[in-house]
Structure 1
Amino acid sequence: MRSPKLSRKTVLASSVAGAFAVVGGGAVIAEAASRRGEDEPEGDPTMEATPDWVETQLASMSLQAKVGQLFMVYVHGESADSDHADAVASNRQRLGVDDGAAFVADFAPGGIIYFDWANGLTDPDQIVALSNGLQEAADLPLLIATDQEYGTVVRIKEPTTQFPGSMPLGATGDTEAANRAAEVAGTELRAMGLNQNFAPDADVNVDPANPVIGVRSFGSDPESVSGFVAAQVSGYQAGGVAVSAKHFPGHGDTGTDSHVGLPVITHTATEWERIDAPPFTAAIAAGADMVMSAHIQFPALDDSLKPATLSEPILTGLLRDRLGFEGVIITDSLEMQGVRTEYGDERVPVMAILAGADMLLMPPNFKLAYDAVLGAVESGELTEERIDASVRRLLALKLARGIIGEPTTDPDAVDVVGADEHLAMAADIADRSITLLANDGTLPLEAGNVLVTGWGENTTARLTESLTAQGLQAEALVTGDDPDADAIKSAVAAAVGRDLVVVSTFNVKAGGAQANLVAELLKAGLPVVTAAVGTPYDAAHLGGANASLATYSYTTASLAALAKAITGAINPSGVLPVDVPAATGEIAYALGHGLNYA
């Protein structure tokens, strides 16, 4: 079904004289009005001031166009009109059209989300062309979004600046650095035509075994996490993109990945207020545009055991009424198993809107979901007034962030992507995040022969290159995440006679194969340094190493910083943003712990 065309004159009106740009935490956003002026051609009728733009636009829209605005989906193809056979087949199967431009024109979605596996995203020029092509096909400008948290969750890789991620920032203790990094990241995203980022992560990671959050969190202290979240909200917005704090009401204490199952949070209501709520409260106070729901059960907050995404007590009762959030509530991906375990794909979209969600992210069957929402309005289960409330918030967000006035981007703006000063900032953050947990005097090593072994083919190779650049003789031998007896034996043999063995680790389990590798190297009397390139919790299972470091990240910048710390080119200054518990349940390394070479 093709939605009626919307007035381009109405769409492009870009100012508000105070009436209706209410987003983020109840604050009245006046930014849209301030965007008018020198950049607008004098007398251009398409840019005429319309104080009641949101209401005027809403009144001009059909029900079908309004429902389309509630969806954000992904399309396949490296260009808006891609005719690549695989992209066309995938789009026909999922969306019923050949390409992204046709989908945008036919269904007027509120937004498009990018993924590297669907859209390429390897070349800033390609990304700009894709973004502009989609916007040019849209009657109403799109939110164009991605998950660019940095660290372990990043969709657009080099040449964009690769910041180390949230937990490394937490290890620096520097919220101003977090703010500046977010502004730079936002600037690069907006230069490529993206105007929305699904960041920052507002979860407080209090479960060391959390399989889905971990280093995506700034840490385990609610107050510290709150400061970083607020800093990044304002930073991204200063860089030109809308933000989405996630995953409400808090995903930091889960032992199940909501991509594959339905986690249960066992916090009491009091614990939720103390642990989980503060970062979201801070995000709202900072003016967050969106809050993303989590596919988790939280019995203390809703004893019906509906996932939070489908829970009116959580989305409306807590987020809207209690915390006062007036911006856009978006669901986490509706393709994830956590929200699909109890309810069918036809019911989930309707239930999410009834619960209080405004935008539905990535339903597994778009046409089924779209028709289900339309059908719910026609049957009276949902009112058009309820749909209007969500569309009103989405229009206000797009207006406040300048998306209505300037939906496309200048292709020449991509020159800012990966700029030298941006790379230098990422390197500085990485340098200051490296945390020295233990050291018997083995480090620093200013000269010598080193074996780099352990987890990660790319990680060990890059670390070897970085150590060589620091003047050491270094060689890599990958043993992987589950080395068998032969691999461990080979590593021990290769390490004999070396001045140092550096073992990169990732998600070590007590008594697991990576721990066995370290134990066998130590048994052979070799000088061993462990480097946790994911969560710092690895260190609790690697007792006896001569020195232990945490990088929280395996980005190029973090591995270069690790090499500098090993050789003494930098003096480690990072501190743990989480407690690292020992197998006994006691704390092996406490939050705030960090050594240096002084």
Structure 2
Amino acid sequence: MTREENISDSISMRKKHLYILLALLLWVFPVSNAQSAPRVSPEEILKTMTLDEKVGQLFIVWFKGGEMSPFLQKAIGEYHVGGLIFYSITGNTKSPEQITTLSTAAQKLALRTGADLGLFMSIDQEGGPVTRLTKGFTVLPSNLSIGHTDTAISASRAATLLAQEMTAVGLNMNFAPSVDVNSNPDNPIIGTRSFGNNPNMVARFGRAAVDAYVAQKVIPVLKHFPGHGDTSVDSHNAMPVVPHSLARLQQTELAPFSALAEDAPAIMTAHLFVPALDPTPNQPATFSHKILTELLRKKMGFNGLIITDSLGMGAIANTYGSGQAAVRAFKAGADILLFGADKGHEPEEALAAIRTVRDAVKNGKISEARLNASVLRILKTKKAYNILSPSFQSPLAASHMVGTPKHRAAALMLARKGTKILRDTHKQLPIRGAIPPAVITFGDTPSQQTVEASFPAGTGLIKLPRRPSQELILRVLKHLRDADCIVLTRKTAKAPEQLELVRALESRNAGKLYVATLGTADAILNKTAAPCVIASGSSTPEAIRAIAELLFASATQVR
């Protein structure tokens, strides 16, 4: 290499270091694209807004793809929507750099059109099974796993980490935490998304999470009011019924919301029929004035934003069109009408709903006073969370602020604390001597790579369908004979065949059985006699590693 080439390489390296330093400086001292003059009060802004701008602020809408599109140009520039919701399944969250670039472009468009207001940039980033930010980000354990730690500090740490990674890429609203009390072990939709089955404990952990989000200037949205924890139907498909008495609801389902109502900035509604709260036949809570206005707003003293769950979910969309649903929810007391990426629906349906609500105001079905009340709440919330005039980060800087070694270490620590022994009848733990020759998993999670990276060398993997056939169960039994084995179960309420395999394995005369549940543990504890049961509540790579460490005592367990 010539002297000139050496000099050229040295200059290139220095330039690279300068670019990285500049990106990090932009993170620490973000460059604001907002107006240099201070914004006037929300009340003054409201006075200047047109009807179209006011109605648009009521909507948070979904979209397709990872870049600015004609739909986004129209939704933001012409319909003046109040916010966007990001999903992984729709291609919105491909990488930290892509999300940052998109969120910045969307905010800049909003700031130069209509009332020049920043957008709610929202997402469902609960941790565990509901995690939209994955590639390049830190994936945290589920709420149930956080609940296993027995300290609300864990909820605070998890929420802080989630909020920091969200703000790094320009997101400012999280539809979390779920404060549903998981009192039904067979619940098909809540399960590990809940902190637990004790209302006081759920409220305590929920408060810790809310406080942490607020401190990081991310809007937390408690869900799913008035309580989705004891349902046997998934409201994405149909409308569940919560048949309990008012006394029971106050003691269990409503308790966390009552405890947090005065401090939470936002609460999400659930599409549930709760006859003790509103006996109107087949009236979902989202459409109930008695539940949203008389109970939540007046009796419980909630002054924050009432946000609907997605109005495209089956519990609503099976009966109502998008516009009809939006009008009904708003008249019941909702402030923000959410249209998410529900199966069988398109983003344009939200724009049709905006037109329907606008027409309802024009023809007097919705009063302008009612409209102004919700818009003012929205503006006040945006001001409190620096969304009226947001600042922006460099995509390169954002990529260095997420998925960091420090954050991943924190996720592993939380997973370790949230992994616990529920039963060890024969004192089988930790495993000594010969390594069990097989780890049995169901479905796609965890991956083979995760299992192989977590368990000792020599441990084989038997990967079964989520619901294995009787023939396949018999083949597994024949293959294992009397060998020791580890079984990782998940979502057994929807897959009872997993319990059948566990019972068949435990009935053998020889061979030790170790069961680790990646979901709720009730079914394993109550419907099997498995002598060794470990509860994790998560299937993240860190959770699988924590299970392996506990089984083999290969790491100090932080308790």
TM-score if structure 2 supplies the norm length? 0.87
Aligned to 1:140, the other structure's residue is in SS state coil
Instruction: Tell me how far apart the structure 2 counterparts of residues 460 and 180 of structure 1 sit (CA, whole Å).
Output: 27
SS at match of 2:106: helix
Counterpart for residue 55 of structure 1:
43
1:182-202, Cα deviation, whole Å (9 max, x unpaired): 011101001011011000101
Residues 191, 410 of structure 1: 8 Å contact kept: no
Equivalent of residue 231 in structure 2, options 233, 248, 254:
254
Deviation of 1:487 after TM superposition, in Å, equals 1.9
Give the distance between the partners of 1:129 and 1:337, measured in 2 at CA: 33
- Equivalent residue runs for 1:90-109 within 5 Å: 98-109=70-81
Counterparts of 1:192 and 1:41, CA distance in 2: 14
Cα separation, 2, equivalents of 1:329 and 1:162: 28
Name the residue aligned to 1:86. none
Is 1:391 the counterpart of 2:375? The answer is yes
Equivalent AA in structure 2 for residue 78 of structure 1? G
Which position in structure 2 is the counterpart of 1:376? 360
* Change in CA separation of 1:461 and 1:546 when aligned onto 2, cut-off 3 Å: farther
2:405 corresponds to: 420
Q: Distance in 2 between matches of 1:284 and 1:457?
A: 39
**TM-score where L is the length of structure 1:** 0.82
Q: Does 1:141 align with 2:128?
A: no
What CA distance in whole angstroms lies between the structure 2 residues aligned with 1:118 and 1:315? Answer: 31
Matched position secondary structure for 1:113: strand
1:303 to 263, 268, 279: 279
Matched, 1:127 2:115: no
CA change 1:457–1:112 in 2 (3 A) is closer
Preserved CA contact (<8 Å) 1:149 1:198: yes
Taking the aligned partners of 2:30 and 2:428, their CA distance within structure 1 comes to 63
Alignment-mate amino acid for residue 441 of structure 1? K
Match of 1:220 among 197, 200, 220: 197
Aligned position for 1:113: 85
Q: Which residue is 1:580 aligned to?
A: none
Q: Which of residues 134, 140, 143 in structure 2 aligns to 1:163?
A: 140
| Offset, 1:378 | 1.3
| Residue 79 of structure 1: aligned partner | 67
Please name the residue that 1:316 is paired with.
293
Mapped to 2, the partners of 1:557 and 1:241 lie a distance apart of 25
8 Å CA contact 1:448, 1:473 repeated in 2: no
- Distance of 1:485 and 1:569 partners within structure 2: 35
Q: Give the match for residue 230 of structure 1.
A: 207
Query: Which SS does the other structure have where 2:108 is aligned?
Result: helix
**Aligned counterpart, 1:549:** 534
Offset, 1:573: 7.7
Alignment of 1:66 with 2:54, yes or no, is yes
> Using the alignment, how far apart are the partners of 2:50 and 2:303 within structure 1?
24
Residues in 2 aligned to 1:113 and 1:314: alpha-carbon distance in whole angstroms: 25
**What's the secondary structure of 1:347's corresponding residue?**
helix
The 5-angstrom pairing of residues 398-437 of structure 1 reads 398-411=382-395, 412-437=397-422
Secondary structure of residue in 1 paired with 2:392:
coil
2:476 alignment counterpart? 491
Give how far 1:400 is off: 0.3
Alignment of 1:436-451 (within 5 A): 436-439=421-424, 440-450=426-436, 451=438
In 2, Cα distance between equivalents of 1:136 and 1:121: 19
2:550 aligns with one of 558, 565, 573: 565
Q: Which whole-Å CA distance do the structure 2 matches of 1:535 and 1:571 have between them?
A: 24
C-alpha deviations, 1:357-391, integer Å up to 9, x for none? 01100075223311211111111111111111111
Q: Distance in 2 between matches of 1:274 and 1:292?
A: 20
- SS of the residue 1:348 aligns to: helix
Which deviates the most, 532-541 or 508-517? 508-517
Distance 1:147 1:45 in 2: 27
User: How many residue pairs are counted as aligned between the two chains?
Assistant: 515
Instruction: Give 1:181 shift.
Output: 1.4
SS in 1 for 2:323: coil
CA distance in 2, matches of 1:77, 1:395: 28
Match of residue 188, structure 1, among 158, 161, 165: 165
Deviates more, 1:290-299 or 1:233-242: 233-242
Residues 464 and 75 (structure 1), Cα distance of their counterparts in 2 relative to 1, 3 Å cut? closer
Tell me how far 1:571 sits from its aligned partner: 6.8
CA distance in 1, matches of 2:289, 2:136: 42
The answer (yes or no) to whether the contact 2:31–2:392 under 8 Å persists in 1 is no
Flag structure 1 segments of 5+ consecutive residues without an equivalent. Answer: 1-37, 82-97, 575-598
SS in 2 for 1:149: strand
Please list, as runs of the form range in 1=range in 2, the aligned pairs for 1:361-372 lying within 5 A after superposition: 361-362=338-339, 365-372=349-356
Partner of 1:345: 322
- Do the aligned partners of residues 532 and 39 (structure 1) sit closer, same or farther apart at CA in structure 2, a change above 3 Å counting? closer
Match of 1:27 in 2: none
Q: CA deviation at 1:416?
A: 1.3
Asked whether the 8 Å contact 1:427–1:561 carries over to 2, the reply is yes
- Kindly indicate whether residue 337 of structure 2 is the aligned counterpart of residue 360 of structure 1: yes
Residue number among 423, 428, 446 corresponding to 1:459 in the alignment: 446
Q: Is the 8 A contact 2:64 2:92 kept in 1?
A: no
Between the aligned partners of 1:503 and 1:148, the Cα distance in structure 2 is 28
CA distance in 1, matches of 2:91, 2:444: 26
Answer whether contact 1:431 1:570 (CA < 8 A) is retained: no
Question: Which digits, 9 at most, give the CA deviation of each residue in 1:65-101, with x for residues without a partner?
Answer: 11011111011121114xxxxxxxxxxxxxxxx2423
Deviations 1:153-210 (A, max 9, x none): 1111132111101111111011112112101110100101101100010111111111
Equivalent in 230, 252, 265 of residue 275 of structure 1: 252
**Residue 307 of structure 1 aligns to which amino acid in structure 2?**
P
* Candidates 270, 285, 295, aligned match of 1:294: 270
- How many Å apart are 1:521 and its aligned residue? 2.5
Using a 3 Å threshold, how does the CA distance of structure 1 residues 509 and 112 change in structure 2: closer, same or farther?
closer
Please report how far the alpha carbon of residue 135 of structure 1 lies from its aligned counterpart in structure 2 after TM superposition: 0.8
What is the SS of the residue equivalent to 1:210?
coil
Equivalent residues of 1:479, 1:488 under 8 A apart: no
Matched-pair contact (CA < 8 Å) for 1:254–1:263: yes
The change in CA–CA distance for 1:45 and 1:550 in structure 2 (over 3 A counts) is: closer
CA RMSD of aligned residues (A): 2.4
Q: Work out whether residues 117 and 389 of structure 2, in 8 Å CA contact, stay in contact via their aligned partners in 1.
A: no
Partner AA of 2:350 in structure 1: F
Q: Which runs of 5+ in 2 are unaligned?
A: 1-27, 111-115
Q: What residue is the counterpart of 2:177 in the other structure?
A: 200
Q: How far apart, in 2, do the equivalents of 1:542 and 1:223 lie?
A: 27
Q: Distance in 2 between matches of 1:371 and 1:120?
A: 25
Is the 2:145–2:415 contact (alpha carbons within 8 Å) kept by the matching residues of 1?
Answer: yes
2:128 matched residue in structure 1: 151
Q: Distance in 1 between matches of 2:494 and 2:53?
A: 54
Contact 1:433–1:573 under 8 Å retained in 2: no
Moved more, 501-510 or 378-387: 501-510
1:502 maps to 486
